[in-house]
Amino acid sequence: MKALVSTGGRSVQAACDWLFSHVDDPFLDDHLPREFVLYLRPSGPLQNQLSHFWQQSRVTCGKNKAHNIFPHITLCQFFLCSDPQVEALCEALRAAVQQWRGRFPSPLPLELYTSSNFIGLFVEEQAADVLKQFAADFAAEATRKAEVHVEPHRKQLHVTLAYNFPSSHLPSLEKLAKGIEVKLGCDWLAVLFSRDIRFANNETLRVMYPYAPQNEDELELLPGDHIFVSPVDQGSTSEGWVYGTSLASGLSGLLPENYVSLADESDTWVFHGSHSFFSPGNRSSEDSFGASLSFTGALHLRQVLRMGGSHSRQPRRTLLVCRHGERMDVVFGKQWLSLCSDSKGRYVRSNLNMPPSLPLWGDKRDYHMDAPITVLGTTQARLVGEALLESNTPVDHVYCSPSLRCVQTAQNILKGLQQEGKVKMRVEPGLFEWTKWVSGSSLPAWAPPADLAAAHFSVDTSYRPLVPVSKLAVSEPYESYMSRSFQVTKDILSACRGSGNNVLIVAHASSLEACTRQLQGRSPPSPKDFIQIVRKIPYLGFCSCQEQGDTGVWQLADPPILPLTHGPNHSFDWRETLLQE
């Protein structure tokens, strides 16, 4: 029951994974209740604007206290609920929302308020009274069904945009806040979250790099995990070290401070479902949260535990996006083919950074339009795969652009992951870069998946593309490219839901921005700004985007691997250098 509640009742498998990761947790058998809170959370166009404000304010002025929790309106104070009563608590929320469906203020009137260290959107008084009545009704239902005491929020209801920030940041934050169109459409959701009561007042840190303990009192670190740190426990630690507790395992110990970074408080909260006031149906990860927590579900869990299970290191759905490796035509120039072709048209490399052979060499391929990667490009890709393997980051699905450089990069990442042949690449033309950047009047003649498979690439030949090659047009408008990338990414994530947490896309420099920006609810940048962003992304540039619970909200997060830095290296001719007088 504790495992089911701690994973939000998503599934028996998630609960099994949680239990196997907590087998050594000293508090595993502790019957402490969890702390719950009820929020109103925006969705739709207003939510997109608020997410954009969150991102821009963080970039412009750095993190402030408001960033610890996503945009919301607080309906009640945190309250306690024991694990056996959570099913009834979720039913109380469902019943309360059902009673209020059709009575919720629409649109919800909001007004911007600013002071020297606070910026927020306040609910107009009459509408606020209606929301407070709903909170009171939920409190009564929760008491009746789950035997818990809920204290409705009595202060002015509002969405906090920023607070506890330096006064010098006020003009910039206020300007960004005034850009929020508060009258945009919004479906307000009643959402229920919980947190571990033991760590309510602790600092939350995110693990950036893996760490293997060198002493018995040290804590193993896995990228993607979160660490709770209490100021009380830091008195006897050495400089550069902190004492913390792992969210993933429940174990405590010392850890190097430079292996972690500050995270948002809500990153570790458990999502227990959400309900719309305007459309019927539960937005939780399961059709019925109660079904997951039922006695039958608990018996199923015991049966699975007897049969054995596996430990899921990364319970969140994660999208990994990576640029291809170093290109032959960029290193050796556009006439590179003339440097490695003999008089009979056979491939002969003239530099150690040229691969010993090329796939599909001959009349089947037109390498002028579709250049392969170099030997260093192959090495770069394999290093990324090895780093993913070392960081215990499984890759469940791999999608790649049809460009040969992307297919080769994906193949070598799988080699480094030791998954070559086990995970099949899905070649998706919809992931190709902005076609305006293609030279000439036609697109490259990419090798079909069947030919790639015949050349020993680990390609899924049964995959049917979301965007066929015939649907791509030369010199497409910028808006069309961004829309295509966003739609393909959403369709990929939808197709992979329920069959693994981690999806890897190997495509182009532009893909890191185009495949993730709108997924976060942010508007596309201007074409000029987009080009400036893309120019900064190196070969094997890598980013990670995580889904926040089962809410459909995605945010960029620290990648599970270290960055890969490499520099230019000119061609060395010993005759010209060493034989000069």
pLDDT grade, residue 400 (50/70/90)?
Answer: very high
Identify the sign of the CA torsion 245, 251, 254, 260: negative
pLDDT of residue 51: 84
Q: Is 34 a catalytic residue?
A: no
> Pick the residue with more confidence: 275 or 506?
506
Q: How far apart are CA 213 and CA 253, in angstroms?
A: 9
Q: How far apart are CA 538 and CA 535, in angstroms?
A: 8
Secondary structure of residue 455 in the 3-state scheme: coil
67, 158, 508, 517: which one is catalytic? Answer: 508
Q: How far apart are CA 192 and CA 96, in angstroms?
A: 13
Q: C-alpha 301: how far from its chain's center?
A: 28
The CB density around residue 49, as the number of other CB atoms within 10 Å, is 21
324, 365, 397, 405: which one is catalytic? Answer: 324
Q: How far apart are CA 216 and CA 242, in angstroms?
A: 15
Beta strands in 129-259 (DSSP E): 158-163, 189-195, 203-207, 226-229, 241-246, 252-256
10, 94, 323, 327: which one is catalytic? Answer: 323
- The answer to whether the CB of 34 falls within 8 A of the CB of 194 is yes
pLDDT of residue 290: 37
- Please count the helices (runs of H) and the strands (runs of E) in the chain: 17, 19
Secondary structure of residue 458 in the 3-state scheme: coil
Q: Could you give the residue range(s) of every CATH 3.40.50.1240 domain in the chain? A: 318-333+360-557
pLDDT in tens, 156-204: 999 999 999 998 999 999 999 999 888 877 788 999 999 999 998 899 9
Phi first, then psi, for residue 205 (nearest 5°) are: -120, 150
Q: Would you say residue 152 has pLDDT above 60?
A: yes
Residue 122: enclosing H or E segment and its boundaries? strand 118-123
Q: How far apart are CA 17 and CA 196, in angstroms?
A: 18
Outline where 158-234 has alpha helix (H).
170-178
Residue 449: enclosing H or E segment and its boundaries? helix 449-454
pLDDT grade, residue 302 (50/70/90)?
Answer: low
- The answer to whether the CB of 7 falls within 8 A of the CB of 18 is yes
pLDDT grade, residue 298 (50/70/90)?
Answer: low
Rounded average pLDDT over 537-555 = 85
pLDDT in tens, 442-452: 899 899 999 99
Q: How far apart are CA 109 and CA 117, in angstroms?
A: 23
DSSP secondary structure letter of residue 459: B
Indicate the residue type of 92. A
How far are the Cα atoms of 83, 317, 331, 371 from residue 435, in angstroms, in the given order? 54, 30, 22, 16
Q: Is 508 a catalytic residue?
A: yes
Strands 110-114 and 118-123: antiparallel
Secondary structure of residue 97 in the 3-state scheme: helix
Rounded average pLDDT over 134-157 = 94
pLDDT in tens, 214-265: 998 999 998 889 999 988 877 767 788 999 999 999 999 999 999 999 898 8
Residue 114, strand partner residues: 119
Q: pTM of the entire structure?
A: 0.54
The CATH code belonging to domain 1-198+269-276 is 3.90.1140
Domain 318-333+360-557 belongs to what topology? Rossmann fold (3.40.50)
- The answer to whether the CB of 543 falls within 8 A of the CB of 556 is yes
How far are the Cα atoms of 97, 427, 455, 462, 566 from residue 449, in angstroms, in the given order? 50, 7, 10, 9, 31
Rounded average pLDDT over 499-504 = 87
pLDDT grade, residue 95 (50/70/90)?
Answer: very high
